[in-house]
Structure 1
Amino acid sequence: MKICIFLLLSIISTHAFACSCVSKAKSFDEEFQQYDAIFSATAIKAEKVAGDWSSAFYKTEMHVHDVWKSHDVPRVLFIKTNIETNSCGGPAPKIGSRFLIFSHVSSDGLYVTGGCSMFIDLDQVNSDINNLNIEEKADWESMWAEKWFALGEPIVVHKKI
């Protein structure tokens, strides 16, 4: 069941429309191990870093709330997301929105999303769920409850600033 949830969330990820991602993980626990850091955070500000189609990216400052993997995740950090949609990129993260982020850490200290990592706008998901009929809403809420249960308790919780 965890695999189904993870695959479904990977498919609906806000940045996975124009690319193809297939995980080699056999379980959610194996998928969890493939990332350097897993956390929820709110986008504070974003800037576009210039480059060609393969090197341009958004550098977004994030305020971290909960951390499920890596005790080294700071309270405020920068994430790097692809711009090119063929590389699973897309628009800059919406400022003020809260995200669930599965990332790798780059050599320059940025938390990298895109590619096939999960980068889910939780506010958008909640809005989408609220627009469903009662039966569909119950199914989605059940799926999300299982997702949060699979993550377990956060290892770090940052107090609000």
Structure 2
Amino acid sequence: MFRSYKKGRPVLKIPRSRLEIIIEVIAVLGILAHALLLIHYWPALPDVIPTHFGISGEADGWGSKSSLVLLLAVNIGLYLMMTVLNFFPQTFNYIVEITEKNAREQYYYARLMMNFVKVEIVWIFAYIEWGTIQVALGKASGLDGTVMLSFIIAMTVTTLYFIWRSYGIG
């Protein structure tokens, strides 16, 4: 049942929980929404669109609309990387020592944190794509700073919660 991998850490096969499956579905929906936005709006987009936004949310860099394809590719790449990494929780860095006694629970919560962060990243990329399209079409003057700040706060709270949770398990 236990096989050593890193620093004597056990390698466990832990089935996905219902919550992990739900979060995964939400992440996949984010990728699909991102792709469908691009497909839907592509014909209407001008050749030059905003490619960078300043801290105020106003566009301060311009480039080819093909940069939106790159944004989607990066989103898919990050999604895939985080999905694959989740199969190897024994390789993660932990704030407590991993033992045979606490490994199952530590791995589960580390995977859960990775899933929550993954879904937050997928949806922030989809929002950035949507916001960029809105600015390019003249329907908005910039990205909404409140939305961007909300994503940053959500990712920070998620990470802090799971760090706190890890100490409680340790």
Same fold, TM-score > 0.5, yes or no: no
* Greater relative CO, 1 or 2 (CA 8 Å, sep 6+): 2
Q: TM-score per shorter chain, which class?
A: under 0.3
With normalisation by structure 1, the TM-score equals: 0.26
Point out the structure with the larger helix share.
2
Point out the structure with the larger strand share.
1
With normalisation by structure 2, the TM-score equals: 0.25
